[in-house]
Amino acid sequence: MVSIISEWWIRLAIGLLGSGIVGLVALKARALSISGAISAMIMGTIFIVLGEPIWFVLLIVFFISSTFWSKFKKGHRAKKLAEANYEKTGQRDAGQVWANGGFGVILLMGYAILPSEMWLLAYIGVMGAVNADTWATEIGALSRAAPRSIITGKKVDVGTSGGITLLGTIASLGGALAIGLSASIMSSGKLSFIIIGGIAGFAGALVDSILGAKLQAMYRCVICGKETERSEHCGQATEHIRGWQRLNNDWVNIVCSVTAGIVAVLLGLIF
Ligand SMILES: [Zn+2]
């Protein structure tokens, strides 16, 4: 919170305390695992020490809204079905926390060393994409219509990477716009931030779906025969059927973030 409190050590104390409380609450609410909570605490502290409030606020908007949507209609049949196919379930661990927010940390460090609005634009794009992807997954899981492959348009199993629904696509745009709108509010109403967050975030999530459909590793359960992105199903190791085995969901998220960041910076040159 560079612009509000100039002493770095006060920001450090506030960061540790504030992020510590958020991490503990998230741990209690089972939104984060222990490693995830520690990572979130470190990340939150870095944001408060190095960034203006807008940086921290976007991270919190992502975290709170994605936790809300993941708990929303938890017992819904369609949602349970979708979750059975995700690579990971429930609590975010350290890997996921860094995949979601690690790019923000890098951009913020760049901003702290060489202050320029470009870093912030890239960050708005990245968070827009991460939020869009999460909202699409969580809300899209409630869709009554079967997902279709973004590449072939054919119906695919619920929870399959690269499978999209109309509801999930609208949710994706909503998630991106939520970040753009928050950024706008935090910067005394810059309209360009809404447009940039919305477009870059949506584009990133689109790339995420395309990569998910084309390249992400998919496995088949040797017990029940279902296709899944998990390396284990029904308590047994699954067999690899397609995609790059190294390209798991965390890597797909990273590629999606980079794309969104670049799109946001390019849009910043126009708007
Ligand atoms: Zn199975």
pLDDT tens for 107-162 read: 999 999 999 999 999 999 999 999 999 999 899 989 988 899 998 899 987 777 78
- The arithmetic mean of pLDDT across residues 56-76, rounded, is 88
**Structure tokens that stand for 171 in this block:** 């949710």
Query: pLDDT averaged over the chain?
Result: 89
Ligand 1 centre distance from Cα of residue 158 (Å): 14
Q: What is the band of 72 on the pLDDT scale with cuts at 50, 70, 90? A: confident
Ligand 1 centre distance from Cα of residue 227 (Å): 8
Ligand 1 centre distance from Cα of residue 138 (Å): 22
Ligand 1 centre distance from Cα of residue 229 (Å): 11
CA-CA distance, 117 to 122, in Å (whole number)? 9
pLDDT for res 258: 93
Share of the chain above pLDDT 70, in %: 96
Ligand 1 centre distance from Cα of residue 82 (Å): 13
- The arithmetic mean of pLDDT across residues 92-117, rounded, is 91
CA-CA distance, 2 to 53, in Å (whole number)? 8
Ligand 1 centre distance from Cα of residue 234 (Å): 4
Element (H, E) at 177: helix 166-186
Ligand 1 centre distance from Cα of residue 80 (Å): 14
Ligand 1 centre distance from Cα of residue 81 (Å): 12
pLDDT tens for 196-218 read: 999 999 999 999 999 888 887 88
Residues 6 or more apart whose CB falls under 8 angstroms from that of 58 comprise 104, 123, 124, 127, 179, 182, 183, 186
CA-CA distance, 197 to 108, in Å (whole number)? 17
Ligand 1 centre distance from Cα of residue 222 (Å): 7
Ligand 1 centre distance from Cα of residue 190 (Å): 49
Flag whether pLDDT at 88 surpasses 60: no
Q: Where is average pLDDT lowest: 12-26, 80-94, 224-238, 248-262?
A: 80-94
Q: What is the band of 5 on the pLDDT scale with cuts at 50, 70, 90? A: confident
Ligand 1 centre distance from Cα of residue 232 (Å): 8
CA distances from residue 46 to 110, 162, 216 in whole angstroms, order as listed: 13, 33, 31
Q: Which one has a higher pLDDT value, 7 or 183?
A: 183
pLDDT tens for 244-269 read: 877 777 788 888 999 999 999 999 99
Flag whether pLDDT at 89 surpasses 70: no
pTM score of the predicted model? 0.86
Top-ranked range on mean pLDDT: pick from 62-76, 144-158, 185-199, 223-237: 185-199
Ligand 1 centre distance from Cα of residue 221 (Å): 5
pLDDT for res 260: 97
**Structure tokens that stand for 220 in this block:** 């088949």
Ligand 1 centre distance from Cα of residue 21 (Å): 38
Q: Counting Cβ atoms within 10 Å, is residue 167 exposed (0-12), middle (13-18) or buried (19+)?
A: middle
- The arithmetic mean of pLDDT across residues 1-8, rounded, is 77
pLDDT for res 1: 58
